[in-house]
Structure 1
Amino acid sequence: MSDPIVRAMMADDLPMVLAWRNHWDVRRFMFTQHEIGLEEHRNWFSRSTNEATRRLLIVVDREAPIGFVQFDNVADAGASNWGFYADPNAARGTGKMLGFAALKYAFGELNLHKVCGQAVDFNTASIALHERLGFVREGVLREQQRLQGAYRSLVCFGLLRSNWNQSMKPVGEPS
């Protein structure tokens, strides 16, 4: 079985990524929760692809796209923020496969020192995934984001390259 690959997002991916992003199982955990239209999505893609320190990526397993990953503030040996979501109709375990592939790319291809992430306090699946991937909780931003009519806290995570290298195991191997 081959490892998933990570490739740059292309304009042809816009309808697929928009469908994933607008699916309620993804959108309810986003800071921007309205349903995004195609024009707004195209404008985001155009702006984002012109930012030298941002990477928009698609993770592909066996020729099928399984999710989207974004890295911001990318600099050689720097600290980058990431965001991600899997195809909401993907099989169980896809998130871990996507995360593993993206982090391998981040610490390899992008040569990052640290990857930082945040999860809304009620997104227990994302919190658990960060922890399974080796992230350390670095803090909580209390009542930081207003979502669905209430202020929610954000759980902050960090993963250093040195910790990733020590704990890295291919998908499917026991943790």
Structure 2
Amino acid sequence: MFFSGERIRLRKMSSEDEDVSIYHKWRNDIEVMQFTNPSLDVFTYADTENFVKGITESRNSKGYMIEEVRTDKPIGITSLINIDYGNRNAECIIDIGDKDYWSKGFGREAFSLLLDFAFNELNLHKVYLRVFSFNERAIKLYQKLGFYEEGKLKEQLYRDGAWHDVVFMGLLKRNYKE
């Protein structure tokens, strides 16, 4: 399954070696994961394989590789996880793993496609996420897409010699700016 935008497309993530291998490389790049992973642990290939299988084989998750349309190159992942079909909500995540694509609008385009799918295809009422308070670039993106702060876990994360909050943000379907 593909969702296409101007510069990227989302393709269903696979638990096959190619997707697992690419994601494993990103998942063990400290510079990439410092903004999304609270532990910064080094993951074994089996850890990554199990994580990807958890997303690709669960009824309550939808995982997608973000590919650049022009080159078919995978540049990141985005997913809906913890999908609650009864209450029509889900958590969303995004990682642009290829650092050459940072700060160029690819994340915004990918997230917009994911939100279109969440609200228009799955008919979700709400999508929410967690973001580290020091990840100002991501917070600005989420705010532009219509997310609002719902709360925070104060000083939940110790990174680079300081304590940081984990911010919870949500977006209701009626507030989504397509």
Secondary structure (helix, strand or coil) at the match of 1:98 reads helix
Contact 1:58 1:69 in 2 (8 A): yes
Corresponding residue number in structure 1 for 2:82: 73
CA deviation profile, 1:136-158 (whole Å, cap 9, x unmatched)? 11122211234456432111111
Alignment partner of 1:53 is 2:60: yes
Alignment partner of 1:8 is 2:12: yes
Give aligned pairs, total: 166
CA deviation profile, 1:33-83 (whole Å, cap 9, x unmatched)? 112221211122223333221122112331333320121221346111111
Tell me how far 1:123 sits from its aligned partner.
0.9
Structure 1 residues 60 and 13: alpha-carbon distance in aligned structure 2, compared to 1, 3 A threshold = same
In percent, how many aligned pairs have the same letter?
28
Normalising by structure 1, report the TM-score: 0.83
Gaps of 5+ in 2: none
Tell me how far 1:130 sits from its aligned partner.
0.7
Contact 1:74 1:110 in 2 (8 A): no
Corresponding residue number in structure 2 for 1:141: 153
Report 1:37-116 matches (<5 A): 37-62=44-69, 63-76=72-85, 78-86=88-96, 87-90=98-101, 92-116=104-128
Superposition misfits of 4+ residues, deviation over 4 angstroms? none
> CA separation in 1, counterparts of 2:31 and 2:170?
24
Contact 1:120 1:155 in 2 (8 A): yes
Aligned with 2:24 (options 14, 18, 21) = 18
Gaps of 5+ in 1: 169-175
**After alignment, is 52-61 or 123-132 more displaced?**
52-61
Normalising by structure 2, report the TM-score: 0.82
Aligned with 1:34 (options 41, 50, 57) = 41
> CA separation in 2, counterparts of 1:50 and 1:33?
25
> CA separation in 2, counterparts of 1:80 and 1:127?
18
Contact 1:59 1:102 in 2 (8 A): no
Tell me how far 1:23 sits from its aligned partner.
2.2
Tell me how far 1:120 sits from its aligned partner.
0.6
CA RMSD between the two structures: 2.1
Contact 2:128 2:170 in 1 (8 A): yes
Secondary structure (helix, strand or coil) at the match of 1:122 reads coil
> CA separation in 1, counterparts of 2:157 and 2:63?
24
Structure 1 residues 105 and 66: alpha-carbon distance in aligned structure 2, compared to 1, 3 A threshold = farther
Structure 1 residues 88 and 51: alpha-carbon distance in aligned structure 2, compared to 1, 3 A threshold = same
Corresponding residue number in structure 2 for 1:151: 163
